[in-house]
Protein backbone atom coordinates (compact mmCIF):
# COMPACT_ATOMS: atom_id res chain seq x y z
CA UNK A 1 0.00 0.00 0.00
CA UNK A 2 2.82 2.25 0.95
CA UNK A 3 4.53 1.45 -2.40
CA UNK A 4 1.41 2.30 -4.35
CA UNK A 5 1.11 5.57 -2.51
CA UNK A 6 4.66 6.48 -3.40
CA UNK A 7 4.07 5.64 -7.06
CA UNK A 8 0.97 7.81 -7.27
CA UNK A 9 2.76 10.64 -5.55
CA UNK A 10 5.58 10.36 -8.11
CA UNK A 11 3.09 10.48 -10.97
CA UNK A 12 1.43 13.53 -9.47
CA UNK A 13 4.82 15.24 -9.24
CA UNK A 14 5.45 14.66 -12.93
CA UNK A 15 2.97 17.17 -14.28
CA UNK A 16 3.67 16.39 -17.92
CA UNK A 17 2.96 12.73 -17.52
CA UNK A 18 -0.30 13.68 -15.84
CA UNK A 19 -1.33 15.78 -18.82
CA UNK A 20 -0.38 13.01 -21.25
CA UNK A 21 -2.43 10.49 -19.31
CA UNK A 22 -5.42 12.81 -19.37
CA UNK A 23 -5.10 13.32 -23.13
CA UNK A 24 -4.93 9.55 -23.76
CA UNK A 25 -7.94 8.97 -21.55
CA UNK A 26 -9.88 11.70 -23.32
CA UNK A 27 -8.97 10.27 -26.70
CA UNK A 28 -10.15 6.83 -25.62
CA UNK A 29 -13.47 8.26 -24.49
CA UNK A 30 -14.09 10.70 -27.35
CA UNK A 31 -12.40 8.80 -30.15
CA UNK A 32 -15.20 6.38 -30.94
CA UNK A 33 -17.68 9.26 -30.95
CA UNK A 34 -15.58 11.17 -33.50
CA UNK A 35 -15.08 8.07 -35.60
CA UNK A 36 -18.81 7.56 -35.87
CA UNK A 37 -19.08 10.79 -37.96
CA UNK A 38 -18.92 9.43 -41.52
CA UNK A 39 -16.68 11.54 -43.70
CA UNK A 40 -17.32 10.99 -47.40
CA UNK A 41 -14.43 12.33 -49.45
CA UNK A 42 -15.03 14.12 -52.76
CA UNK A 43 -12.32 15.20 -55.21
CA UNK A 44 -13.66 17.51 -57.83
CA UNK A 45 -12.77 19.81 -60.71
CA UNK A 46 -14.18 23.37 -60.91
CA UNK A 47 -11.89 24.95 -58.35
CA UNK A 48 -11.87 28.10 -60.47
CA UNK A 49 -15.47 27.91 -61.72
CA UNK A 50 -17.30 29.80 -59.04
CA UNK A 51 -20.89 29.12 -60.10
CA UNK A 52 -20.48 25.35 -60.46
CA UNK A 53 -18.54 25.22 -57.21
CA UNK A 54 -21.29 27.11 -55.41
CA UNK A 55 -23.87 24.70 -56.82
CA UNK A 56 -22.01 21.67 -55.48
CA UNK A 57 -21.21 23.32 -52.14
CA UNK A 58 -24.87 24.17 -51.74
CA UNK A 59 -25.80 20.55 -52.50
CA UNK A 60 -23.28 19.43 -49.85
CA UNK A 61 -24.80 21.78 -47.25
CA UNK A 62 -28.31 20.52 -47.99
CA UNK A 63 -27.22 16.88 -47.85
CA UNK A 64 -25.35 17.32 -44.57
CA UNK A 65 -28.36 19.10 -43.04
CA UNK A 66 -30.62 16.22 -44.08
CA UNK A 67 -28.13 13.55 -42.97
CA UNK A 68 -26.69 14.39 -39.57
CA UNK A 69 -23.56 12.38 -38.88
CA UNK A 70 -22.48 12.36 -42.53
CA UNK A 71 -19.96 14.92 -43.72
CA UNK A 72 -18.87 15.49 -47.32
CA UNK A 73 -15.27 16.65 -47.41
CA UNK A 74 -14.69 18.27 -50.81
CA UNK A 75 -11.23 18.91 -52.26
CA UNK A 76 -11.26 21.32 -55.22
CA UNK A 77 -8.82 20.97 -58.11
CA UNK A 78 -8.23 22.14 -61.65
CA UNK A 79 -8.85 19.32 -64.09
CA UNK A 80 -5.28 18.42 -65.04
CA UNK A 81 -4.09 18.32 -61.44
CA UNK A 82 -7.13 16.31 -60.45
CA UNK A 83 -6.60 13.70 -63.15
CA UNK A 84 -2.93 13.29 -62.23
CA UNK A 85 -3.79 12.96 -58.52
CA UNK A 86 -6.54 10.43 -59.24
CA UNK A 87 -4.39 8.24 -61.47
CA UNK A 88 -1.84 7.89 -58.72
CA UNK A 89 -4.28 7.59 -55.82
CA UNK A 90 -6.53 5.03 -57.50
CA UNK A 91 -3.54 2.88 -58.47
CA UNK A 92 -2.47 2.90 -54.84
CA UNK A 93 -5.98 2.19 -53.55
CA UNK A 94 -6.06 5.60 -51.87
CA UNK A 95 -8.75 7.29 -53.95
CA UNK A 96 -11.63 9.35 -52.57
CA UNK A 97 -15.19 8.03 -52.18
CA UNK A 98 -16.59 10.26 -54.93
CA UNK A 99 -14.67 11.95 -57.71
CA UNK A 100 -15.14 14.02 -60.85
CA UNK A 101 -14.89 12.16 -64.15
CA UNK A 102 -15.97 12.45 -67.77
CA UNK A 103 -17.40 9.65 -69.90
CA UNK A 104 -14.30 9.27 -72.07
CA UNK A 105 -12.40 7.90 -69.09
CA UNK A 106 -13.37 4.31 -69.84
CA UNK A 107 -10.18 3.12 -68.18
CA UNK A 108 -11.93 3.53 -64.83
CA UNK A 109 -14.65 1.10 -65.86
CA UNK A 110 -12.27 -1.26 -67.68
CA UNK A 111 -10.23 -1.67 -64.53
CA UNK A 112 -13.14 -2.08 -62.14
CA UNK A 113 -12.41 1.13 -60.29
CA UNK A 114 -15.97 2.46 -60.26
CA UNK A 115 -19.05 1.44 -58.34
CA UNK A 116 -22.04 0.34 -60.40
CA UNK A 117 -24.53 3.18 -59.97
CA UNK A 118 -27.66 1.18 -60.83
CA UNK A 119 -28.91 2.25 -57.42
CA UNK A 120 -29.07 5.89 -58.48
CA UNK A 121 -32.51 7.42 -59.01
CA UNK A 122 -32.38 7.20 -62.82
CA UNK A 123 -36.01 8.34 -63.14
CA UNK A 124 -34.74 11.87 -62.61
CA UNK A 125 -31.93 11.57 -65.16
CA UNK A 126 -32.18 11.78 -68.95
CA UNK A 127 -31.96 8.31 -70.59
CA UNK A 128 -29.32 9.52 -73.08
CA UNK A 129 -27.14 10.64 -70.17
CA UNK A 130 -27.40 7.21 -68.63
CA UNK A 131 -26.56 5.64 -71.99
CA UNK A 132 -23.39 7.73 -72.29
CA UNK A 133 -22.26 6.59 -68.87
CA UNK A 134 -23.13 2.91 -69.45
CA UNK A 135 -20.42 0.31 -69.73
CA UNK A 136 -21.31 -3.33 -70.37
CA UNK A 137 -24.92 -2.57 -69.53
CA UNK A 138 -24.32 -0.85 -66.20
CA UNK A 139 -24.28 2.89 -65.45
CA UNK A 140 -21.26 4.31 -63.70
CA UNK A 141 -21.54 8.10 -63.67
CA UNK A 142 -23.88 10.80 -62.46
CA UNK A 143 -24.03 13.19 -65.44
CA UNK A 144 -24.23 16.65 -63.97
CA UNK A 145 -23.07 18.72 -66.93
CA UNK A 146 -24.10 18.31 -70.57
CA UNK A 147 -23.76 20.48 -73.65
CA UNK A 148 -24.50 20.67 -77.34
CA UNK A 149 -22.32 22.08 -80.12
CA UNK A 150 -23.78 25.38 -81.32
CA UNK A 151 -22.97 28.08 -83.87
CA UNK A 152 -23.30 31.38 -82.02
CA UNK A 153 -23.38 34.51 -84.17
CA UNK A 154 -23.47 38.27 -84.00
CA UNK A 155 -26.88 39.29 -85.40
CA UNK A 156 -25.71 42.82 -86.18
CA UNK A 157 -22.68 41.69 -88.18
CA UNK A 158 -24.78 39.20 -90.11
CA UNK A 159 -27.21 41.98 -90.96
CA UNK A 160 -24.30 44.16 -92.08
CA UNK A 161 -23.25 41.64 -94.71
CA UNK A 162 -26.81 41.50 -95.96
CA UNK A 163 -27.63 37.98 -94.88
CA UNK A 164 -30.47 36.60 -92.80
CA UNK A 165 -30.63 33.28 -91.02
CA UNK A 166 -33.30 31.11 -92.74
CA UNK A 167 -36.38 30.00 -90.82
CA UNK A 168 -34.77 26.59 -90.41
CA UNK A 169 -31.86 28.42 -88.67
CA UNK A 170 -29.53 26.57 -91.05
CA UNK A 171 -27.60 27.91 -94.04
CA UNK A 172 -26.76 25.44 -96.75
CA UNK A 173 -23.14 24.72 -97.65
CA UNK A 174 -23.00 27.29 -100.48
CA UNK A 175 -24.65 30.01 -98.39
CA UNK A 176 -22.21 29.45 -95.55
CA UNK A 177 -19.28 29.70 -97.96
CA UNK A 178 -20.83 32.94 -99.20
CA UNK A 179 -21.13 34.15 -95.61
CA UNK A 180 -17.46 33.36 -95.04
CA UNK A 181 -16.36 35.27 -98.15
CA UNK A 182 -18.56 38.28 -97.38
CA UNK A 183 -17.28 38.49 -93.82
CA UNK A 184 -13.72 38.20 -95.02
CA UNK A 185 -14.33 40.93 -97.61
CA UNK A 186 -15.40 43.19 -94.76
CA UNK A 187 -12.10 42.45 -93.03
CA UNK A 188 -13.79 40.34 -90.35
CA UNK A 189 -12.96 36.86 -89.13
CA UNK A 190 -15.92 34.68 -90.14
CA UNK A 191 -15.57 32.24 -87.24
CA UNK A 192 -13.78 32.53 -83.92
CA UNK A 193 -12.10 29.33 -82.75
CA UNK A 194 -8.95 28.59 -80.76
CA UNK A 195 -7.16 25.43 -79.74
CA UNK A 196 -4.24 26.81 -77.74
CA UNK A 197 -5.27 25.09 -74.52
CA UNK A 198 -7.88 22.49 -75.46
CA UNK A 199 -7.75 19.24 -77.43
CA UNK A 200 -11.26 19.52 -78.91
CA UNK A 201 -12.67 22.90 -80.11
CA UNK A 202 -11.01 22.83 -83.53
CA UNK A 203 -12.45 19.40 -84.19
CA UNK A 204 -16.05 20.67 -83.79
CA UNK A 205 -15.79 21.85 -87.37
CA UNK A 206 -14.97 18.40 -88.72
CA UNK A 207 -17.15 16.25 -86.52
CA UNK A 208 -20.32 18.30 -86.95
CA UNK A 209 -19.85 18.24 -90.73
CA UNK A 210 -19.10 14.50 -90.81
CA UNK A 211 -22.02 13.75 -88.49
CA UNK A 212 -24.44 15.54 -90.82
CA UNK A 213 -22.99 13.95 -93.93
CA UNK A 214 -22.95 10.39 -92.62
CA UNK A 215 -25.81 10.35 -90.10
CA UNK A 216 -25.48 9.04 -86.57
CA UNK A 217 -25.05 5.36 -87.45
CA UNK A 218 -22.34 5.67 -90.08
CA UNK A 219 -20.63 8.43 -88.14
CA UNK A 220 -20.51 6.16 -85.09
CA UNK A 221 -19.12 3.38 -87.28
CA UNK A 222 -16.50 5.74 -88.67
CA UNK A 223 -15.29 6.64 -85.19
CA UNK A 224 -15.24 3.00 -84.16
CA UNK A 225 -13.15 2.09 -87.20
CA UNK A 226 -15.93 0.02 -88.79
CA UNK A 227 -16.36 2.48 -91.66
CA UNK A 228 -13.08 3.33 -93.38
CA UNK A 229 -11.84 6.92 -93.40
CA UNK A 230 -11.28 6.42 -97.10
CA UNK A 231 -15.06 6.49 -97.62
CA UNK A 232 -15.66 9.09 -100.39
CA UNK A 233 -18.23 10.93 -98.28
CA UNK A 234 -15.52 11.69 -95.72
CA UNK A 235 -13.20 13.18 -98.33
CA UNK A 236 -16.11 15.16 -99.85
CA UNK A 237 -16.91 16.70 -96.48
CA UNK A 238 -13.30 17.51 -95.73
CA UNK A 239 -12.89 19.13 -99.15
CA UNK A 240 -15.82 21.45 -98.45
CA UNK A 241 -14.34 22.34 -95.07
CA UNK A 242 -11.00 22.96 -96.70
CA UNK A 243 -12.70 25.43 -99.04
CA UNK A 244 -14.02 27.31 -96.02
CA UNK A 245 -10.61 27.22 -94.33
CA UNK A 246 -8.85 28.45 -97.46
CA UNK A 247 -11.41 31.24 -97.71
CA UNK A 248 -10.14 32.46 -94.33
CA UNK A 249 -12.81 31.01 -92.03
CA UNK A 250 -10.68 30.95 -88.86
CA UNK A 251 -8.44 33.45 -87.08
CA UNK A 252 -4.81 33.35 -88.16
CA UNK A 253 -3.87 32.87 -84.51
CA UNK A 254 -6.19 29.85 -84.28
CA UNK A 255 -3.45 27.43 -83.17
CA UNK A 256 -2.26 29.52 -80.23
CA UNK A 257 -5.55 31.13 -79.22
CA UNK A 258 -6.94 29.76 -75.98
CA UNK A 259 -10.58 28.92 -75.45
CA UNK A 260 -11.15 31.97 -73.23
CA UNK A 261 -9.44 34.20 -75.81
CA UNK A 262 -11.64 32.77 -78.56
CA UNK A 263 -14.70 33.88 -76.58
CA UNK A 264 -13.38 37.42 -76.26
CA UNK A 265 -12.28 37.38 -79.91
CA UNK A 266 -15.89 36.62 -80.89
CA UNK A 267 -17.83 39.10 -78.82
CA UNK A 268 -15.43 41.89 -77.95
CA UNK A 269 -12.09 42.28 -79.66
CA UNK A 270 -11.80 42.27 -82.63
CA UNK A 271 -15.18 40.59 -83.03
CA UNK A 272 -15.99 37.64 -85.28
CA UNK A 273 -19.19 36.89 -87.13
CA UNK A 274 -19.71 33.42 -85.65
CA UNK A 275 -18.32 31.25 -82.87
CA UNK A 276 -18.49 27.45 -82.98
CA UNK A 277 -18.66 26.39 -79.37
CA UNK A 278 -20.14 24.05 -76.83
CA UNK A 279 -23.23 25.49 -75.19
CA UNK A 280 -21.01 26.12 -72.17
CA UNK A 281 -20.41 29.42 -73.99
CA UNK A 282 -22.61 31.01 -71.35
CA UNK A 283 -20.36 30.12 -68.42
CA UNK A 284 -17.86 32.72 -69.68
CA UNK A 285 -19.96 35.02 -71.87
CA UNK A 286 -22.61 35.76 -69.27
CA UNK A 287 -20.09 37.03 -66.77
CA UNK A 288 -19.80 40.80 -66.41
CA UNK A 289 -17.82 42.32 -69.31
CA UNK A 290 -14.92 43.25 -67.02
CA UNK A 291 -14.57 39.56 -66.16
CA UNK A 292 -14.46 38.36 -69.75
CA UNK A 293 -18.19 38.38 -70.45
CA UNK A 294 -19.83 39.64 -73.62
CA UNK A 295 -20.69 43.36 -73.79
CA UNK A 296 -24.07 44.48 -72.46
CA UNK A 297 -26.70 44.25 -75.19
CA UNK A 298 -24.57 42.00 -77.37
CA UNK A 299 -26.80 40.81 -80.25
CA UNK A 300 -26.25 37.08 -79.70
CA UNK A 301 -27.99 34.61 -81.97
CA UNK A 302 -27.77 30.84 -82.40
CA UNK A 303 -27.90 29.17 -85.79
CA UNK A 304 -27.45 25.54 -86.78
CA UNK A 305 -24.27 24.18 -88.24
CA UNK A 306 -24.47 24.64 -92.04
CA UNK A 307 -26.16 21.83 -93.94
CA UNK A 308 -23.87 19.58 -95.95
CA UNK A 309 -24.69 18.75 -99.55
CA UNK A 310 -26.22 15.30 -100.09
CA UNK A 311 -26.11 14.70 -96.36
CA UNK A 312 -27.76 11.85 -94.50
CA UNK A 313 -28.83 13.92 -91.52
CA UNK A 314 -28.58 17.69 -91.58
CA UNK A 315 -30.59 17.87 -88.36
CA UNK A 316 -27.99 15.79 -86.51
CA UNK A 317 -25.75 17.41 -83.92
CA UNK A 318 -23.44 16.43 -81.10
CA UNK A 319 -24.43 16.32 -77.48
CA UNK A 320 -21.71 15.68 -74.93
CA UNK A 321 -21.78 14.88 -71.26
CA UNK A 322 -19.11 16.78 -69.42
CA UNK A 323 -18.51 17.05 -65.69
CA UNK A 324 -19.92 14.05 -63.84
CA UNK A 325 -19.45 12.35 -60.51
CA UNK A 326 -18.54 8.69 -60.00
CA UNK A 327 -18.15 6.56 -56.90
CA UNK A 328 -14.96 4.69 -56.12
CA UNK A 329 -15.46 0.89 -56.16
CA UNK A 330 -13.52 0.73 -52.90
CA UNK A 331 -15.27 3.72 -51.31
CA UNK A 332 -15.32 3.68 -47.54
CA UNK A 333 -18.91 4.91 -47.52
CA UNK A 334 -20.52 3.79 -50.80
CA UNK A 335 -24.09 4.00 -49.54
CA UNK A 336 -23.65 7.57 -48.34
CA UNK A 337 -21.84 8.49 -51.55
CA UNK A 338 -24.72 7.25 -53.73
CA UNK A 339 -27.15 8.92 -51.37
CA UNK A 340 -25.36 12.24 -51.87
CA UNK A 341 -25.53 11.91 -55.66
CA UNK A 342 -29.22 11.06 -55.40
CA UNK A 343 -29.77 14.20 -53.37
CA UNK A 344 -28.49 16.21 -56.34
CA UNK A 345 -30.51 14.29 -58.92
CA UNK A 346 -33.82 16.07 -58.56
CA UNK A 347 -35.67 18.14 -61.19
CA UNK A 348 -35.56 21.12 -58.83
CA UNK A 349 -31.77 20.86 -58.68
CA UNK A 350 -31.65 20.39 -62.45
CA UNK A 351 -33.52 23.66 -62.99
CA UNK A 352 -31.34 25.34 -60.38
CA UNK A 353 -28.27 24.16 -62.34
CA UNK A 354 -29.70 25.56 -65.58
CA UNK A 355 -30.53 28.90 -64.03
CA UNK A 356 -27.24 29.25 -62.22
CA UNK A 357 -24.73 27.62 -64.56
CA UNK A 358 -26.63 28.30 -67.82
CA UNK A 359 -25.44 25.02 -69.34
CA UNK A 360 -27.52 21.90 -69.91
CA UNK A 361 -27.47 19.01 -67.49
CA UNK A 362 -28.12 15.27 -67.54
CA UNK A 363 -30.71 15.76 -64.79
CA UNK A 364 -34.26 16.05 -66.14
CA UNK A 365 -35.24 19.70 -66.30
CA UNK A 366 -37.99 21.90 -67.59
CA UNK A 367 -36.42 24.84 -69.40
CA UNK A 368 -39.83 26.46 -69.88
CA UNK A 369 -39.89 27.16 -66.16
CA UNK A 370 -36.67 29.14 -66.35
CA UNK A 371 -37.25 32.80 -65.70
CA UNK A 372 -34.98 35.76 -65.17
CA UNK A 373 -32.61 37.62 -67.47
CA UNK A 374 -31.47 34.54 -69.39
CA UNK A 375 -34.88 33.05 -70.17
CA UNK A 376 -34.60 34.47 -73.69
CA UNK A 377 -31.27 32.72 -74.21
CA UNK A 378 -32.79 29.37 -73.27
CA UNK A 379 -35.68 29.93 -75.71
CA UNK A 380 -33.12 30.64 -78.45
CA UNK A 381 -31.13 27.54 -77.51
CA UNK A 382 -34.28 25.40 -77.47
CA UNK A 383 -35.28 26.76 -80.91
CA UNK A 384 -31.88 25.85 -82.33
CA UNK A 385 -32.38 22.30 -81.08
CA UNK A 386 -35.98 21.70 -82.22
CA UNK A 387 -36.14 18.40 -84.08
CA UNK A 388 -32.44 17.74 -83.59
CA UNK A 389 -31.19 14.18 -83.63
CA UNK A 390 -28.24 13.84 -81.29
CA UNK A 391 -25.07 11.86 -81.49
CA UNK A 392 -23.91 11.44 -77.93
CA UNK A 393 -20.27 12.10 -77.25
CA UNK A 394 -17.41 13.99 -78.83
CA UNK A 395 -14.88 12.01 -80.87
CA UNK A 396 -12.40 12.65 -78.06
CA UNK A 397 -14.82 10.79 -75.79
CA UNK A 398 -15.52 7.96 -78.21
CA UNK A 399 -12.04 7.35 -79.64
CA UNK A 400 -9.26 5.67 -77.75
CA UNK A 401 -5.49 5.36 -77.94
CA UNK A 402 -3.75 6.07 -81.22
CA UNK A 403 -6.95 6.99 -83.10
CA UNK A 404 -7.80 9.56 -80.44
CA UNK A 405 -4.31 11.04 -80.54
CA UNK A 406 -4.35 11.19 -84.35
CA UNK A 407 -7.82 12.75 -84.43
CA UNK A 408 -6.74 15.42 -81.95
CA UNK A 409 -3.50 16.22 -83.77
CA UNK A 410 -5.12 16.27 -87.21
CA UNK A 411 -8.64 17.60 -86.75
CA UNK A 412 -8.28 19.74 -83.66
CA UNK A 413 -5.23 21.52 -84.97
CA UNK A 414 -3.48 20.77 -88.26
CA UNK A 415 -6.45 20.44 -90.62
CA UNK A 416 -8.34 23.57 -89.49
CA UNK A 417 -5.00 25.41 -89.52
CA UNK A 418 -4.55 24.41 -93.16
CA UNK A 419 -1.32 22.55 -92.37
CA UNK A 420 -2.42 19.23 -93.82
CA UNK A 421 -4.21 18.30 -97.04
CA UNK A 422 -7.46 16.37 -97.23
CA UNK A 423 -5.70 13.32 -98.65
CA UNK A 424 -3.05 13.35 -95.93
CA UNK A 425 -5.64 13.75 -93.21
CA UNK A 426 -7.62 10.78 -94.54
CA UNK A 427 -4.47 8.68 -94.95
CA UNK A 428 -3.20 9.41 -91.46
CA UNK A 429 -6.57 8.71 -89.84
CA UNK A 430 -6.88 5.44 -91.75
CA UNK A 431 -3.39 4.46 -90.58
CA UNK A 432 -4.24 5.30 -86.96
CA UNK A 433 -6.84 2.54 -86.89
CA UNK A 434 -4.45 -0.17 -88.11
Please identify, using beta-carbon distances, which residue of 158 and 241 lies nearer to another protein: 241
CB of 171 to another protein, least distance (A): 27
Exactly one of 113, 272, 316, 345 binds another protein (CB under 8 A); that residue is: 113
7 or 252: whose CB is closer to another protein? 252
Binding mask 390-429 for another protein (x = CB under 8 A): ----------xxx-xx---xx--xx--x-xx---------
User: Which one, 351 or 397, has the nearer CB to another protein?
Assistant: 397
Q: Is 107 in the site for another protein (CB under 8 A)?
A: yes
Encoded one letter per residue, x for contact with another protein by CB under 8 A and - for no contact, window 140-159 reads: --------------------
Q: Judged by CB under 8 A, which of 75, 121, 230, 256 binds another protein?
A: 256
Residues between 189 and 208 that touch another protein (CB under 8 A):
196, 199
**CB of residue 323 to another protein, shortest distance in Å:** 17
Measured from the CB atom, the residue of 111 and 368 that comes closer to another protein is 111
87 belongs to the binding site for another protein (CB under 8 A) = yes
Of the two residues 257 and 358, which places its CB atom closer to another protein in the complex? 257
Among 105, 206, 237, 264, binds another protein (CB under 8 A): 105
199 vs 260, beta carbon nearer another protein? 199
- Minimum CB separation of residue 107 from another protein in Å reads 5
Number of residues engaging another protein in binding (CB under 8 A) = 35
Stretch that binds another protein, among 88-96, 153-161, 274-282, 291-299 (CB under 8 A): 88-96
Q: What is the 3-state secondary structure (H, E, C) of the chain?
A: CHHHHHHHHHHHHCHHHHHHHHHHHHHHHHHHHHHCCEEEEEEECCCCCHHHHHHHHHHHHHHHHHCCCEEEEEEECCHHHHHHHHHHHHHCCCCCCEEEECCCCHHHHHCCCECCCCCCCHHHECHHHHHHCEECCEECCEECCEEEEEEEEEHHHHHHCCCCCCCCCCCEHHHHHHHHHHHHHCCCEEEECCCCCCCCCCHHHHHHHHHHHHHHHHHHHHHHCCCCCCCHHHHHHHHHHHHHHHCCCCCCCCCCCCHHHHHHHHHCCCCEEEEEEECCHHHHHCCCHHHCCCCCCCCEEEECCCECCCCCCCCEEEEEECCEEEEECCCCCHHHHHHHHHHHCCHHHHHHHHHHHCCCCCECCCHHHCCCCCHHHHHHHHHHCCCCEEEECCHHHHCCHHHHHHHHHHHHHHCCCCCCCHHHHHHHHHHHCC
- Assess 245 for contact with another protein (CB under 8 A): no
Q: How far is the CB of 324 from another protein (least distance, A)?
A: 16
How far is residue 269's CA from residue 133's CA, in Å, rounded to a whole number? 39
C-alpha distance across the termini of the chain, in Å: 88
Binding range to another protein, per CB under 8 A, among 11-19, 68-76, 85-93, 153-161: 85-93
CB of 100 to another protein, least distance (A): 16
Q: What residues line the site for another protein (CB under 8 A)?
A: 83-84, 87, 90-91, 93, 104-107, 110-113, 196, 199, 251-256, 400-402, 404-405, 409-410, 413-414, 417, 419-420, 431
Amino acid sequence: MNRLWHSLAAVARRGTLGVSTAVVALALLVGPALASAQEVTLWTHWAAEKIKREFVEDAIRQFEAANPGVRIKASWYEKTALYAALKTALRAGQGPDIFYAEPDQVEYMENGLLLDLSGLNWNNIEPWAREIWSYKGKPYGFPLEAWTVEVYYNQKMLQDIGMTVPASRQFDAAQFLDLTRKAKAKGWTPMSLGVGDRPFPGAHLTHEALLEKLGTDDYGRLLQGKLPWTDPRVADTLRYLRTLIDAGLLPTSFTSMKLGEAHTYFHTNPGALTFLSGSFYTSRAFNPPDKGGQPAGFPLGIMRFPAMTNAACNHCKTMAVGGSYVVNATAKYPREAVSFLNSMATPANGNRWLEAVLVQTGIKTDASKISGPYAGYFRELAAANVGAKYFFGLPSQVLQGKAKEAFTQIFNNAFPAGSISVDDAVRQMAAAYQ
